[in-house]
A and B are shown apart, each in its own frame.
Chain A
Amino acid sequence: MTLPEPAASTLLKPIQSVGIVGYGAYVPRYRIPAKEIARVWSGKTAALPIKEKAVPGLDEDVVTMSIEAARNALRRAGIDPSELRAVWVGSESHPYAVKPTSTLVAEAIGAVPNTQAADWEFACKAGTEALVAAMGLVGSGMGRYAMAIGMDTAQGRPGDALEYTAGAGGAAYIIGPAEESLAIIQASYSYVTDTPDFWRRPEARYPEHGMRFTGEPAYFKHITEAARRLMEATGTTAKDYRWAVFHQPNTKFPQRVAAQLGFSMEQIEPGLLVPVIGNTYAGAALIGLTAVLDIARPGDRILVVSFGSGAGSDAFDILVTEALLERRDRAPKTRDYIARRIEIDYATYVRYRGKLQMK
């Protein structure tokens, strides 16, 4: 066995080929339209960042949502949960400050006790971080299967620009050997720098954003660099990909970054869910990919690029296999969850999100 040349080694690519053996999505059923938030705070009816966002019910959090997505992924994979050697959950809304989300999820899906469990944090890219780590665990032969989840119930300060988009949802992936995969992850690449675009101190309830830092130096810089460097290292261009999914904090950003990278609106359309569920933070790129896998054909190549504030992007080059066709109907499609829609008003939203001071 020889190690790759230094020039090629910026790719994060395991020695043994790995892929997605199962995937599952989850979106809660409540929706608050952006115009309802605008009615309360600004009176604006035009130029809203999305149509509506998903809101979790009173009995939902990142644990319960991750459990449902994980069960969907297990149904598609058709493996015994005791074969998982990792259950990793990326989120910025873990229900406990101290006590892992991942052990609860692992217990509920029947993966305990012979497994790794950990919670990952990196703003909106905590989920793809876990995915890269899962590729490493499986690709090194340490375990046959590993689960990576990106899930969030994001909160924005009432009246803040983020309140229009901070949504709820995410996805679970089971990584395994390439020969069992419904989509092979051919390579990944990660690009990070220290960039102060968005943060939350431990005692603060809502996040702060660095205003002019959030666009060009953060989102656009990191996504375009990650995508370009992955495509350069794999010898591909936008035309080689049937579909692309970019992190989606609002409708415009992923559309603009796609155009900058030479992708058409048709290539990003199936994975662009932010207009109807909001920004699902650590879940955003990953749930976008589930919606693409729900409609993709064998042979389709998919580019996925996440973005997390602070800041960084993970990029993936994914190739769909024949196995997708027989597995994807084993669990609900992402569009089934999106279609399950109950509209709520701002008052109900305030109650469901615990924004009322009760004592």
Chain B
Amino acid sequence: MEIPRHWRLRKQRYSLVGEVCPHCQVRIFPPRDVCPSCGKEARELYTFSGRGEVYSYTTIYEAPSGFEQQVPYTVALIRLEEGPMVTAQLTDVSPEEVQIGMPVEMVTRKLRTDGDERGLILYGYKFRPRLQQA
């Protein structure tokens, strides 16, 4: 049971809320309160657009505990359009469709259950191929 940690991370997990540095405007994710670029304090919240592209990826066939029912699935490094890189599961895509450079967008999905079926359902960001609009 890690309920306090899940609860603390909910904003960044549900909606990609990070920070923006007031000194050099660098966008920061995950939030860490110190700018990785200029080293000054950065606590201003910033909600990312959720758009990015696949930088690298790997398909998981032997999943860690809590994710067994989802195999096969793809985990990717996503380069967000604002700059930062995030690691996330891809969804709504089969592993053979994934390509480096593929445009993706953030969606909020079920990540796993905390413990068994009696536990909390944990939600958070994943990325999917950008929806085609007519």
Contacts and interface: CB of A to CB of B under 8 A. Distances in A.
The prevalent SS among residues of B at the interface is mixed
Interface in A32-49: none
B60 interface: no
Interface residues of A, number: 24
A60 B132 contact: no
A58 B113 CA distance: 12
Contacts of B134: 333, 335-336, 339
Interface stretch (A83-91, A105-113, A173-181, A206-214): A105-113
B interface, size bucket: 20 to 34
A108 B111 contact: no
Given A59-B70, A64-B108, A107-B14, A333 B91 contact: no
A298 interface: no
B15 A95 contact: no
Contacts of A332: 131, 133
B133 to A, nearest CB: 5
B20 to A, nearest CB: 16
B131 A59 contact: no
A174 B10 CA distance: 24
Interface string B99-118: 00000000111110000000
A61 B113 CA distance: 13
A64 B10 CA distance: 14
A104 B10 CA distance: 10
B37 interface: no
A262 interface: no
Nearest to A26: B107
A333 B133 CA distance: 7
A297 interface: no
B110 A107 contact: no
Contacts of B131: 332, 336-337, 340
A344 B75 CA distance: 23
Interface of A: 29, 57-61, 63-64, 67-68, 95-96, 104, 107-110, 332-333, 335-337, 339-340
Given A57-B109, A104-B123, A107-B14, 14 more contacts: A58-B69, A58-B70, A59-B110, A59-B111, A61-B110, A61-B121, A63-B121, A63-B123, A96-B121, A107-B10, A109-B15, A110-B47, A336-B134, A339-B132
Q: Which 7 A-B pairs have the closest CB atoms?
A: A108-B14, A59-B109, A59-B110, A67-B108, A64-B109, A336-B133, A332-B131
